[in-house]
Structure 1
Amino acid sequence: MSEDLRTDPALDEAGVAAAVEAVEPPAHGSITLIIPTFNEAGNIRELLRRLRSSIPAHLPCEVLFVDDSTDDTPEVIEKAAADCPFPVAVLHRERAVGGLGGAVVEGVKRAASDWVVVMDADLQHPPQLVPELVGEGERTGAELVVASRYISGGSRAGLAGGYRIAVSRGATWLTKGLFPRALRGISDPMSGFFALRRSVITPEALRPLGYKILLELAVRCRPAKVAEVPFVFQDRFAGESKSTAKEGLRFLSHLAALRTATGPARMIGFGLIGLSGFVPNLAALWLLTGAGMHYLPAEILANQAGVLWNFVLIEALLFRDRRRHRHWADRLGRFALLANADLLLRIPLIAVLVDRFGMAVLPATALALVTTFVLRFAATEALVYLPSSRYAAVQPSRTERKIPCDVPSGAGEGGGPPCSPSGR
């Protein structure tokens, strides 16, 4: 492919996509190395130096930095790339949609190679393993090759402190417990260093949130065969870790979204959230009836505590990706209307259970909540949160700045344009 196609900003997306379709298929074993960055200027020169010494001259490889930085990282990349024997490019995103995982997906959309390799920029992932990851995939026929800290020869030495080690191990156990089939054969689902065949990935199916993109790809793309290569997790070369409590919460939200991606799973999640709503509902009912209020008006007031509790959890855990089509107040109003509307059915049922069958108020309430569960779930999904197919057409706008880097003439043949908008 000509150098002009890689760097000419005057080409529109349709023109570039057509040109990409016209070129020959990528060379066997060609690589797009995707490196998401956020304020990693201090690591770039050393990273590219090690990549230069690690990637064999015969291996078709291009490097794409997808950058969300607020510092001068893009400029540092542009200068450091001048000495690289392979194409290097930067895609700078004005909005960091999806976090690090979203950055990787943006890079995947532009990859035209056989393999996509994902690694961090902080040198905790050893660059010399890039050819080995792809080589293992070619030798074994695997579609996904994971660099693992938890197999023989691997180590998590670069995780500073017992707290981070405990969190990493706990997250690993949790994810493998939640997704036993999708993560079969993956000992380190928290790894951010892996190679995946581009043909396996459907970017439109991905809904990343935060930095655990391997989990997203493994669960949604389901590669048929997985292999692993051991690696020693290194100390960060420069800068500070991006792991924060906020990222931890995003990780938990991401787990919930993945686990409830199907209708039956969402119904189960809805039921579990509804069960947890018994606590504020029944607690409020106990307080109100204990204060002397008749159980029927107490039911109405206590129901609001459960409604608010359920709404917060459903928003965060079940329908995170279906919230932008309505204002939160509109969603809350609709949810509360539906939740209280079932009182028209539930209160007469409770009255029958209490007055005719002699049940106590609390068990009668619990039984009535269970009987109206399916109806409430169906109405909530249909009337409060639109189906995913309709939401998919409403994507957040973004402004991207592409910074082409100088590369030697003819470098990276067979690899495809680093900043091409085409996914193949």
Structure 2
Amino acid sequence: MNSIQKEIRSKTKSLSIVIPTYNESKNIVKILDSLRVALTRDMNAEVIVVDDNSPDGTSKTVEEYANSKNPEYPIHIVRRENKRGLSSAIVTGIEHAKGDAVVVMDSDMSHPPQTIPKMVEELQNPDCDIVVASRYVEGGSVSGWPFKRKLISKGATKIAQHGLGIKIKDPMSGFFAFKKHIVNNIKFDAIGYKVLLEILVKAKDAKVKEIPYNFIDRTTGKSKLDLAVSVAYLQSVWKLYRYGKSVKTNERRASVHFLSKAGRFYTVGASGLLVNYIVSFLFGAVLSNLWYLYATMIGIVFSMSTNFILNKVWTFEDRTFEPKKTLIQYGLFLGFSGIGAVFQLLMVYGLVELRHVNYSIALFLAVAVASVGNFLLNKKWTFQEKVWS
């Protein structure tokens, strides 16, 4: 027994490890074997596998493992009849957990069980309620991700940080631990893939610590990330934003108002970046073989329209949709966005054709740069607000 495990033995009452699964029969035995190495009976742990009726027999594999391997900790299987989503599976696991502390992790070997003792050790500190295994703090890293996946992850992180006021560097982590009592009064919406976001927003005054780990992308099985997941994520962020707004007092200082609206505007811009990138990529590489500039223009139209609606309703809190006024606003918004769009197209063309930059990188840089002037122009002219307010 190493020193960390001895310390955990002396302080930890019990630990529950929640692992949601769907078609992970090729990975689940590996993760359970790794847990056998990382955990001992002295840690007083239990493992809860929540399976959404996987067609590949994941739950049967877990049951056979529990009966034949004789692990030093109990393995409980929660079978759900239908595929109801990752977040709800995690919530189900938390509801079944008997431990004083809960660890949530994936079953695809991207989250190393060897990190768990360190996470639990951090939870012994009375000034720590949540421990997030982070890819983005010093010492953390991501291995095996293509540029597109990194881009989507960074965009989603920025949305959470600016839109929800979350301060940690990796709020999108799926590998975290917490003292169970902090979620006792939380009513989970369980939308999308990120229960951690709900806990960070709804567990009032919870103290958070990030520790580094190396994320290694799955080598077997299929990633669950798709367009539906991205839409569900934006839906969950919106609900959490509404929740946060209902419990916070209004801020009157002009500087805070300005920064708050700028944060919202660029959060919308980040969501537009996702819409722009996904639509452009679909038309340019997946659904058809359109020339990359045509695909980019289609992506621009989609993102400008969604950005207008979100900025009108959320950023500038203008919820009057009188037709004439809304059409004028939409026209101004498109006009200012059009200026940025022209710049974006020229920049994409210049980077791809003249500098031979990869299209994905060029698209990202162009969208980011073109959005810089839009906030002030739209604040001043489209939504008729003082610049510094």
TM score, norm. by length of structure 2: 0.60
2:49 to 65, 84, 87: 65
1:232 to 193, 211, 214: 214
Matched, 1:155 2:141: yes
CA distance 1:203–1:105, change in 2 (3 Å): farther
Partner residue of 1:253?
235
- For the residues of structure 1 that align with 2:324 and 2:212, how far apart are their CA atoms? 46
2:171 maps to a residue whose letter is P
Q: Which runs of 5+ in 1 are unaligned?
A: 1-26, 287-365, 368-424
1:190-232 Cα offsets, whole Å, 9 max, x none, are 0000001001013651111011111011111235211111000
CA distance 1:87–1:59, change in 2 (3 Å): same
2:319 maps to a residue whose letter is G
- For the residues of structure 2 that align with 1:188 and 1:279, how far apart are their CA atoms? 43
1:235-257 Cα offsets, whole Å, 9 max, x none, are 21420100001100100011001
1:274 to 297, 319, 322: 319
CA distance 1:233–1:277, change in 2 (3 Å): farther
Answer whether contact 1:143 1:223 (CA < 8 A) is retained. no
- For the residues of structure 2 that align with 1:153 and 1:224, how far apart are their CA atoms? 24
- For the residues of structure 2 that align with 1:249 and 1:203, how far apart are their CA atoms? 27
User: Larger helix proportion, structure 1 or 2?
Assistant: 2
Answer whether contact 2:122 2:131 (CA < 8 A) is retained. yes
Within 5 Å, which residues of 2 pair with 1:64-213?
Answer: 64-68=48-52, 69-82=54-67, 83=69, 84-97=71-84, 99-139=85-125, 141-158=127-144, 160-180=145-165, 183-184=166-167, 186-202=168-184, 204-213=186-195
Count of aligned residue pairs for this structure pair: 257
Answer whether contact 1:200 1:223 (CA < 8 A) is retained. no
2:62 maps to a residue whose letter is I
Partner residue of 2:201?
219
1:89 maps to a residue whose letter is H
CA apart distance, 1:275: 5.3
1:196 maps to a residue whose letter is F
- For the residues of structure 1 that align with 2:222 and 2:100, how far apart are their CA atoms? 33
Within 5 Å, which residues of 2 pair with 1:329-368?
Answer: none
Within 5 Å, which residues of 2 pair with 1:308-387?
Answer: none
CA apart distance, 1:177: 0.5
CA distance 1:275–1:111, change in 2 (3 Å): same
Answer whether contact 2:200 2:206 (CA < 8 A) is retained. no
Query: Match of 1:147, SS?
Result: strand
Partner residue of 2:34?
50
- For the residues of structure 2 that align with 1:163 and 1:200, how far apart are their CA atoms? 35
Query: Match of 1:125, SS?
Result: coil
Partner residue of 1:297?
none
Answer whether contact 1:175 1:255 (CA < 8 A) is retained. yes
1:216 maps to a residue whose letter is E
TM score, norm. by length of structure 1: 0.56
1:117-154 Cα offsets, whole Å, 9 max, x none, are 00000010001111111111114631000000011110
CA distance 1:260–1:60, change in 2 (3 Å): same
Answer whether contact 1:96 1:103 (CA < 8 A) is retained. no
CA apart distance, 1:64: 0.2
CA distance 1:264–1:63, change in 2 (3 Å): closer
1:85 maps to a residue whose letter is E
CA distance 1:106–1:79, change in 2 (3 Å): same
Partner residue of 2:361?
none
Answer whether contact 1:43 1:237 (CA < 8 A) is retained. no
Query: Match of 2:42, SS?
Result: coil
1:127 maps to a residue whose letter is P
Answer whether contact 2:19 2:105 (CA < 8 A) is retained. yes
Query: Match of 2:77, SS?
Result: strand
CA distance 1:202–1:95, change in 2 (3 Å): farther
Query: Match of 1:124, SS?
Result: coil
Q: Which runs of 5+ in 2 are unaligned?
A: 1-10, 249-311, 332-381, 384-389
Answer whether contact 2:14 2:44 (CA < 8 A) is retained. yes
- For the residues of structure 2 that align with 1:236 and 1:259, how far apart are their CA atoms? 31
Within 5 Å, which residues of 2 pair with 1:292-303?
Answer: none
CA apart distance, 1:112: 1.9
Query: Match of 2:133, SS?
Result: strand
1:149 maps to a residue whose letter is R
State the Cα RMSD in Å. Answer: 3.0
1:345-403 Cα offsets, whole Å, 9 max, x none, are xxxxxxxxxxxxxxxxxxxxx99xxxxxxxxxxxxxxxxxxxxxxxxxxxxxxxxxxxx
1:47 maps to a residue whose letter is I
- For the residues of structure 2 that align with 1:140 and 1:163, how far apart are their CA atoms? 39
Task: Name which one, 1 or 2, has greater alpha-carbon Rg.
Answer: 1
Within 5 Å, which residues of 2 pair with 1:410-421?
Answer: none
Answer whether contact 1:48 1:81 (CA < 8 A) is retained. no
